[in-house]
Amino acid sequence: MKELSYFPGCSLHGTSREFDESIRGVLSLLNIKIHELEDWTCCGATSAHCLDEKLAAEMPARNLAIAEKSKRDLLVPCASCYSRFKASELEVKEHGQKVSFPYKGEVPIRFALDYLCEPAVMQEVKQKQVKPLSGLKAVCYYGCLPVRPPKLTGIKDYENPQHMERLIKQLGVEPIQWSYKTDCCGASLMVTRMDIFKQLIGKLLTKAKETGADCVVVACSMCQMNLDTRQEDVEKELSKKFDLPILYYTELMGLAMGHQDAGKWFKRHFKDPIGMLSAKGLM
């Protein structure tokens, strides 16, 4: 059995519980055991790096020091947490930043999407499938942090990533190519500049709808929240109806692999995907 350390981060224990539960469910089906870090704390996303340079390195380093003790790779589902961990790693290893914790920069930090798109893992996913998601069309939306900056993420095709498309295609989904997969969703501008935020979200939803996709597949809890919870507001603003469910890739994996809790995950969405999936005979 493969074993990994696991850092859920704040959002996966709160507003993005379906992401946490679906990734735990998928990993269980893949016979991958995860160990949630003991006494983990907030990594500082999304504001620490804007307010205090030292604190921005210290907060992730505390968690990384805990993970380093286990000698296991650290799996991180949240794109914001992953970005802050990789930034702290860079500060300590390459820039010589001193931190208050015994962190040496030796723990491998694995973004969950990248890990689950590795060929060996995808082969295991293929073998575990019980229900191909045939007839479902989707656009993959990466957003900013899963692929940029490339010095942190190591993603070579950061302007046009394809690994999430390869993953959902293996699940039976038809991935539709579009030109907005790495555009910004507005992130925390949802709180401070709703005017700019609505423009960004409106463009993404409009372009996704124009492709004929049934849903948008995401790998970031911030992107999912913005596109899902504020979709109705943008519909009113633009006098358009999108009705686009915003699904985590792990939820589709769980559905294709026959996880019994998939329906429970979908019920937590603002734009309920159950009707659309049922109409296609997938639930």
CATH tag for 132-279 (out of 3.40.50.11810, 1.25.40.10, 3.30.70.20, 3.40.50.10190): 3.40.50.11810
d(CA 20, CA 40): 15
Tokens at residue 140, please? 């993959």
Q: Amino acid letter at 2?
A: K
- State the CATH class of domain 2-114: mainly alpha
CA torsion angle 14 184 97 111 (round to 10): 60
Band (52; pLDDT cuts 50, 70, 90): confident
* Nearest CA among 174, 132, 135, 130 for reference residue 280: 135
Q: How many CA atoms lie within 13 A of 163 on its CB side?
A: 20
DSSP code, position 7: -
DSSP code, position 176: P
Residue 50: its pLDDT value, please? 61
d(CA 269, CA 263): 11
Q: What is the pTM of this model?
A: 0.96
Is the backbone peptide bond immediately before 46 cis, with ω within 30 degrees of 0? yes
φ, ψ (nearest 5 deg) of residue 22: -70, -35
Residue 230: its pLDDT value, please? 95
How many Cβ atoms are within 10 Å of 157's Cβ, its own excluded? 10
d(CA 147, CA 143): 8
Residue 99: its pLDDT value, please? 95
- pLDDT, tens digit (0-9, with 9 covering 90-100), for 116-169: 999 999 999 999 999 999 999 999 999 999 999 999 999 999 999 999 999 999
Q: Is the pLDDT of residue 51 over 70?
A: no
Residue 211: its pLDDT value, please? 98
* Nearest CA among 86, 100, 109 for reference residue 37: 109
Q: From start to end of the chain, where are the E strands?
A: 2-6, 32-36, 74-76, 109-111, 137-141, 174-175, 215-218, 246-248
* Domain positions in the chain: 2-114, 132-279
Q: Is the pLDDT of residue 49 over 70?
A: no
Same fold, 2-114 and 132-279: no
- Are residues 257 and 26 in contact, defined by beta-carbon separation less than 8 angstroms? yes
Q: How far apart are the first and last CA of the chain?
A: 30
Q: Is the pLDDT of residue 206 over 90?
A: yes
φ, ψ (nearest 5 deg) of residue 244: -110, 105
